[in-house]
Structure 1
């Protein structure tokens, strides 16, 4: 693309607001070092858009450029979206042109390459520690996805699987209190202002908080968990999901159950 008199080759990142760049933690993620333009509907921040490598990214605000004419009715908009949804899209067009078998080969190759990359990470760290603890840490890292990957991996090192495993021999509710009180407390989630509508969930959350306060030690992860995230991607939701997974497989162990999967 051409910005002013200079040509740029790279990616374009799109957000509703310019603050989305920082709320999604792109400034610390090297995966976004290829971004050459930040496109937003509204410019609502004072900070420049800066990549992880320190380069400033120019920003384009669309709101001032939009037509002043009245928008179409809701019915017309829905009909228009329905027509668009029926189109195959760029990837769909490529698939139609190349055929189903070619598409399967492309996806299969991509999946195999992804598995090889993950395997290389495992091999490099295999001799560092117990394999089951390594798997536990990598699962937590993946669970945290890019914004919380390091925080979650540190949490797995803080409360290792072999230390948590005996806790899973009790009832699910008791175990949930014992485990989630540690995870939430170490991540600083009890200090967040949370609105929990369900009275049952709210009561149990208070039990976790009380259990954390009663522990003799209160270790903390070094990273901070931001409050800017999609509700379905909240760290609380992800930790709760991991708990239920561990509760199902803890007796057999991580390695045994995951080796069965693969």
Structure 2
């Protein structure tokens, strides 16, 4: 089609679940596209969304384009017919061999889908289970340093004695900066940290199917929720519908 990225209209966000993944949207561009040739040619203006992804298809036409073209699509016959400005009927035929190659290529570009794993009859909803060996690890061995009572901190074991002594003294002087239990940090001011849920108010909400936790995990959830409730982090409210499943992290 030609053109450059500077000609694109800006667009913020990503296109979700395109090619089984979320892809970056570069922007929009309008272009004049001609369907057919000779006397049965018809030119219309199409507004394209340009994305950065690997695909076997150069262009995907949606229903707005088919409507503007006044076309009729027949998947069975692999043809599309449209009226021309001269009163004739234009026909676009698809090469079945090329279409099959494009379809097979799109399957190769698809990435692995998430699968819900069951362990001992329980449903595992934590997506990190597939990456347990890829989590960040310390670059050196660590050791526990007593901070008084039953409180310990982990520091690197490869520091020089003088440097380690300075670090331990500094940690003890600023021991009040650490939260050892939920009660040590009853309030987090919004000016320091705030979590926003990116939600579209115009989209219909979807209720998740309720999943039951095993007895051991249910007790862990009850204990953690009670800790948060006791210091006022969360509180009970009444909803008539199920909201979301609890996931242990």
**Global fold match (TM > 0.5):** no
**In which range does the TM-score fall when normalised by the shorter chain?**
under 0.3
TM-score by length of 2: 0.22
Say which one has the larger Rg. 2
TM-score by length of 1: 0.22
* Structure number with higher helix proportion: 1
Greater relative CO (CA pairs within 8 A, separation 6+) = 1
